[in-house]
Every structure is written in structure tokens, then in C-alpha cells.
A and B are shown apart, each in its own frame.
Chain A
Amino acid sequence: MTALTIDRINKRYGNLHILKDISIPIGQGEFVSLLGPSGCGKTTTLRCIAGFEQPDSGRILFGDRDVTRALPEQRDIGMVFQSYALFPHMTVAENLSFGLEVRKVSVPNRQRRIADVLAMVRLEGYDKRYPRELSGGQQQRVALARALVIEPSVLLLDEPLANLDATLRDEMRFFIRDLQQRVGITSIYVTHDQAEAMVMSDKIVVMSAGTISQFGSPREIYERPTSQSVAGFIGRSNTISGKIAEALGQDSYKVDTPCGSLGTTGPAGLAKGTDVRIMIRPENIRTLRHEAGTGHQQGAGEAGHGENALAGAVINSIYQGSANQLAVKLGSGDRIVVDVGGRNPLDVGEQVTLRFAARDTWLLAS
């Protein structure tokens, strides 16, 4: 059952078309991230769901209830803001109590629910503190508690971790995700941080320039991106241009490239002769020292049994701690980035062979 339906909403500011026919179905208890660069429309979408903005056309449904024209206070939402937006003149308990007072919850019930939710965000004993007496992470947890204590039907989070430092941000990702799963609340999370979206979400909506580039699970988005912009935005990727030489199966193709022909995986139904780009993630490429003189020339451009090999030379090496990131220049002139684990035994200038499986590639429309 869809808990929340966004149905072809459009939003314009003057000549700017901010949202173009955005439709997102969100299931009960799902955690959905709206991901994209600034100005892509993700925040506007969230604000339309919250009721702070009105779409020019289209509908927003909470369950069966059409809330498109409802005021924010009529929608039954909990919202967490980037700036926390705690009420500075109220204590933590008073902040949490606000939404309950509005709902006319009795005093004993109020106290019980506040205590429960404070325990949930691990802030027992902080009820008498003022927001200014708390650290950034604690303030964010209070903001989360304030949104959850009213037991809303939808939780909206607008870049809640953007103001925290890196370590705390990592910790809070798991904290929020864990809390969301325990409460089982339908959540919509706006972020420009792809790593955040990857680890937290059931579904990711990748947005760009007011449209949805792709909607799917983190795995689908990472491994089966539908466009080069999605592939480029989520993680690092290499692409090699080519033309489909023949279809080997429903989703496997032989692709002719300047480096030879490669076995690849791609969406079904690509016709022979279609211009494509082959995407390969750096971590899926194995790098081997080129064994000259053995005569075993693991052919540049031999499409073997789902295994590809390309020859090239290391032109750059960056130490990243857990791995080395190498840049390899192929015979065709293409530059490929690969990860090499452990101590890097390869030097700049060395000849290498790159190996990768056909199933680790993905074809993008050119």
C-alpha cells in the first residue's frame, strides 16, 4: 500500500520550471531519499509534501487523503530541519511538548510520551536543558524527537546532517536509519550526499533539473543506472564509448570499442549499431602487472567468457589509505580509474592489464 503518493506535480517560479511532472509512490514504512545537486528540485518537492509550498498542478496523497491544498498544520507530518529549528526559548521538554499541547494530549500522557521519545534518542535526563546548552548532534536528536513524539504519518527530513561534522554525520546516519526502522515510520529524506542516501534508503529518487533521473533501490541505482548523469553522480565510474556489435543474450551484448570488442551487460532491447557507453566501477576492475615476454598476451579486446581484458599504462597513483586509486591510460587514449587494494605494487609508467567481468559492466545510452 502506498503511504504517500506524489502524482505529477509541477512547480514554477516565474520562468523557472522547478518541478516537472514529478511522480513518486512511497510505500508504508519506506525510507526514501531525494538525492541530487542543489537546485534540482529535491527541497521544493519536500516542501510541497510538507505544505510549505503549493504545487501549480498535480496531487499529493497521504494514503487516500488528498492533502494537496491542506495547510502544513493539517497534514500530520513530522519535520526535521537542517538548522534544527528548535525553539530556543523553550527547554528540551517544552520543545517536545509543543506538538502534544497542540494536539491536546493530557498532561500525564504528554509526560510519558516525552520520556519515551527521549529514551529513544538516548537523551534521558536532558529534558530541562535549553537547546543552546546542547551539542549539534544532541540538538539534531532533539529535533528528531520533537518530530517523532507527535507520531506523525510521515517523517520529513531536510538535509538534517548537513551541519554536523564528518564523524558525527556517519554515526547519525545509522542512528536515524535504525530509529526509523524501529518506529516503522514512512520517511522522506532530502540530501545531496550520495553516500548518505546509499546507506540509509530503501529507495532513492535521483533528481536533476526538476525531473526524476531514476527511482529505485540503492543497488539498482548504483549497479544499473539509467543514464550517465546518474552513474556519474552516484559513486565513481569509468565509461568507454562503443557500438553494439551483437546481442549475446537478453541483457548481454558484445560491444565494439576503440580498444577492441568487449562483453557487457546492459538493459534489454538495445539494437545492433546503437551508440552506447560502457560503465565500469573502479572497484570491479582487477589490475595485473603486464607480463611481457610470456607471450601470453591476454588480448586487448578479446571478449572471452564474460571476462574482458584491456592493456594500458599507469599514469597516476593516489594513496587513499584503504586503497590506491590508479589512473590507467588505455591504448585508445581513454583514461580508466581503478582501485588497487593493499600496498600498491604498481608504479607510474608501468604497463598493466585491466580485467573485469561482463556482469560488472552496464551499458548507458550514449
Chain B
Amino acid sequence: MTRASSGVEKTIWDRLFTALVAAIYIFLMFPIVLVVVLSFNSGEFLAFPLEGFSLRWFEALFSNKRFLDATLYSLQIAATSTIVNGVIGTLAAIYVARHATVARDYIRLLMTSPLLVPEILTAIALLFYFYEIRIGTDYSIGIQIGHIVVTFPYVFLNVSSALFNFDRSQEEAARSLGAGGWMTFRRVTLPAIKPGIITGCLFAFVISFDIFNISLLLKSLGKNTLPLELFDYLRFNFDPTAAAIASLSIFMTFAAILIIDRTVGLRSLRF
């Protein structure tokens, strides 16, 4: 894009490269488009050919109590993860950026480790741990902690990068103007890192809503998150309700991206 706009003559290799990138995107996006299309199909099966436009599978979804419960449960867990991480992820980022000295890089690595360790390992480790401390999977607290752990790095990393790009002399300017520590944070630092917090929180929400492995191992008895419920459903049914659920999830992700773009701008996304 930059090359095209800079007016450089396009070579055959540029064109081939563009075609390759386009092919990769089509390959990646096609299944998603397919699922959305199928969710609006009036046919009985999750298959082609299309028979007609219908919202019956969305209707089926919203009239199915199990799916509704699962959706609410997922939303509840995702919302809690978002709020908790919004606070502790931000505080952790501030600590690492500002106060950690000696072991700073190690602490940073530790904070991001839930991203680096395979989710299933984290899930197994937490499962052992919860049995060890006699929580087991009897309560929602287990799965909730699991979701918080796995989505924590998204808030941490986004806020860290916002802090890294923040000119600290602004804080010093505020102090020199007579503002104390709290007022400086509230009036100067917080507005500056707000885009990072919002972006991180939206990521945490979407990821928490979608993750499967952690939920599978840590879920409490008789309660399913939406992805788990979907998985259960697909084992015995193969109708487009599943596609409707998937579409719902995709719409939510797009909504999140839209919110990020409208509030803080996609360009502020950094990892």
C-alpha cells in the first residue's frame, strides 16, 4: 500500500505478491464467510446447496434455553475477566514500566507467559491446583480464574505499549504545576494510556468469550460456556443453529473491532 501510494512503478513481482496475499486472505476468510452465509440458509442441514434466506436458526438459537444460558454465562465470564484484567493488567503494566528495576524483563516475560504457554497446559496446571486447594470444579470461580489468567496478557501488553510510548515529562510537567501523584495519574497518565486499556479490555473480552480449552477443563458441573455448548450440540446435531452461534461470535468480534476503531483508532493497536 505504501509503495502504491508513493507512486513507485509496480513490477510483476509486486503484482504476484499482492495476488499471494489476497489468496491467503481468501483462504483464511472463506470458511468464516461460509459459516455466516449458512447461518441464514433455510435448509435443514449445515450444507450446500442454499435453499433460501431465513432467520429460523437464529430463532432456534434464541429459543433454546441451553444456548441462552450458555451465552449469558459466557458473557458474564467475559465481562468479569475484562473488568478484573482492566484493573490488574493496568496496574501490572504500570509496575513493570515504572517501578520494576532489576528483574524487569523477567517479570515482563512472566506476565506474558499465559500467551506463550499452550492454553491446555495452563488449563491442566490450574485444574491440579484447584483440586489441591479443594476448589475443584465445583464452582464458577475456577473457570473464571482460568479466563482471567489467559486474557491477562492482552491488557498487560496493550497498556505496557501505551506507557512505553508515553512521554513521562508530561507527568513531571503536571508535578511542577503543583499536581500531586494521584491527580497527575488521573488527569495526565490515565488519559494517555486509555486507548491501550480500552483495546486490551476489548481483546480480553473477545478472547474470553471464545476460548475453549480452558473452559473445557475448568468448567463447573452443569454449566457450559457458549463454545462448549456449541461443541456438545454439534456432536449430535448438524443443523445450521451451530452456524448461527458461530455467526453471533463473529459479529461480536467485528463489533469489538468497530468499537476500537471508533474510540481509539485501529492504528493505536500494538503488540
Contact = CB atoms under 8 A, between A and B. Distances in A.
Contacts of B183: 102
B interface majority secondary structure: helix
Interface string B167-192: 10110111111111001000110011
B167 A85 contact: yes
Contacts of B180: 71, 73
A87 interface: yes
9 contacts: A51-B175, A52-B172, A73-B178, A73-B180, A81-B173, A88-B170, A88-B192, A89-B191, A146-B173
Contacts of B176: 50, 72-73, 75, 77-79, 147, 156
B177 A98 contact: yes
Given A85-B170, A85-B172, A85-B173, A102 B192 contact: no
Contacts of B192: 88-89
A89 B166 CA distance: 12
Interface string A94-127: 0000110011000000000000000000000000
Contacts of A87: 170, 173-174, 187-188, 191
Interface string A56-84: 00000000000000011101111101110
A72 B183 CA distance: 14
A50 B172 contact: yes
A78 B191 CA distance: 23
A13 to B, nearest CB: 12
A150 interface: yes
Nearest to A74: B178
Looking at B169, B172, B178, which has the most chain A CB atoms within 10 Å of its CB? B178
B145 to A, nearest CB: 35
Q: Please tell me the size bucket of the interface on B.
A: 10 to 19
B178 A79 contact: no
A150 B167 CA distance: 22
Interface in A306-363: none
Interface string A24-56: 000000000000000000000000001110000
A150 B177 contact: yes
Contacts of B175: 51-52, 71-73
A103 B178 contact: yes
Looking at B172, B173, B175, B177, which has the most chain A CB atoms within 10 Å of its CB? B177
A81 B178 contact: no
Nearest to B194: A89
Contacts of B170: 85-88
The 7 closest A-B pairs by CB, nearest first: A99-B177, A85-B169, A79-B176, A102-B178, A72-B175, A85-B173, A81-B169
A50 B172 CA distance: 9
Given A83-B167, A85-B170, A73 B179 contact: yes
A114 B250 CA distance: 51
A207 B191 CA distance: 39
